[in-house]
Amino acid sequence: MTTHLFLPGIVLRPTRLMTPYQGYIDAWYRAIQRDAENQDIAASGCLQGAFIDLLLHGRLTFDWVGVAEAYLSGEDGVPLAYSSRYGERLYGFRNQAVQSTIHAIHTRWWLESVRDATTVDHEKYANLLIVRKLRDGLIYDHDVSETILRHRMKTEITASLAYAVEILLAGGRLTGDLRTEFVASLVDHRKCPPSGYVSTEYFRWRVLKMLDATQHFPAGIAEAIQACAVNLNVGYGDFSIADKKDAYMGTAKRVARDKPIHSPLTACHVAALLDAVVSAAEKAPIEQHLGTYRNHLRANPMDIPAFQMRDVPIPFGADKTPIEIICAAWLVGEGVGA
């Protein structure tokens, strides 16, 4: 059974997709193969390409590990986030692209595990991560960006720790002292306070599950989830726009022109967080809202909007990605209430 931390509840196996999803996936896959053959590739592209292989064929049909080894490796084979050619296009100069991120390390480890789990050197990857543990008791890409903890995106903090803990467990490097330190840091309100972001809280929940410490998960997740549905006819956004605060002043940001958007990925994160909702009365409206979203996607499969910066009519990044399509397909076919 092949799964990935980023795709909660989803087993990557041959799946019959709705026609719009199949058409999108086929076109995206052809494009990423061309990019890989042209050495113009990022670790995230290899990862999504592998997701598609597993979704369509149940195995890797393209040598994503070989691509990563050839074009996404630094000194001593350390995994990199970007190929040299990708970095030139992205940044305009080569050196800035030489980044060995936690996501890149986890992606290489996961790809090798999917190809042949019996040959993976788990300890090697665990060692790459354990040296990144910081004095605050967390693991994140401080060497890539020296932004102080208070101003870092909290989803980065919890996701990075989730990736690291998964590998440390596999590599036999997660001692009792480390478990205690990770739990204490992850639930310390000065380091990683309850955020109101669905993605942040999903990864916090996953870390605590891996550490057998879900009793320390912050209270109030049902209320936070419901806030992320405000002003949306369907689905959930990753955060509540009304709750956006200025990091320095502590005041509400100007949000009059901001609009929340729904996301299949966020809906999957919400579905996973249902396990953290203790009250049946609080769980029921969330399940109902997820069911309504499932029906909406069945009728409007490609209604996956892009985030926009206020009234600027240009999408802020891609709207539809293989990850969103895979999550939408899961919600339509296997999601809560299906």
Q: What is the pLDDT of residues 213-261, one digit of tens each?
A: 999 999 999 999 999 999 899 999 999 876 655 454 454 554 445 678 8
Contact call for residues 9 and 272 (beta carbons, < 8 A): yes
Quote the percentage of the chain above a pLDDT of 90.
76
pTM: 0.91
Q: What ranges in the chain are assigned the alpha helix state H?
A: 19-37, 43-57, 64-71, 84-91, 102-116, 122-130, 154-170, 176-186, 198-210, 221-227, 264-273, 280-299, 322-334
Of 124, 156, 122, 127, residue with least CA distance to 140: 156
- pLDDT at res. 249: 46
139 backbone dihedrals φ, ψ, rounded to 5° = -130, 115
For residues 176-188, average pLDDT: 95
Cα(248)–Cα(220) distance, rounded to whole angstroms?
Answer: 25
| Confidence check: pLDDT of 2 > 90 | yes
3-state SS string for 165-180: HHHHHHCCCCCHHHHH
Average pLDDT, the chain: 89
Cα(297)–Cα(18) distance, rounded to whole angstroms?
Answer: 11
Q: What is the pLDDT of residues 97-111, one digit of tens each?
A: 689 999 999 999 999
Q: What is the pLDDT of residues 123-137, one digit of tens each?
A: 999 999 999 999 999
Q: What is the pLDDT of residues 34-54, one digit of tens each?
A: 999 999 999 999 999 999 999
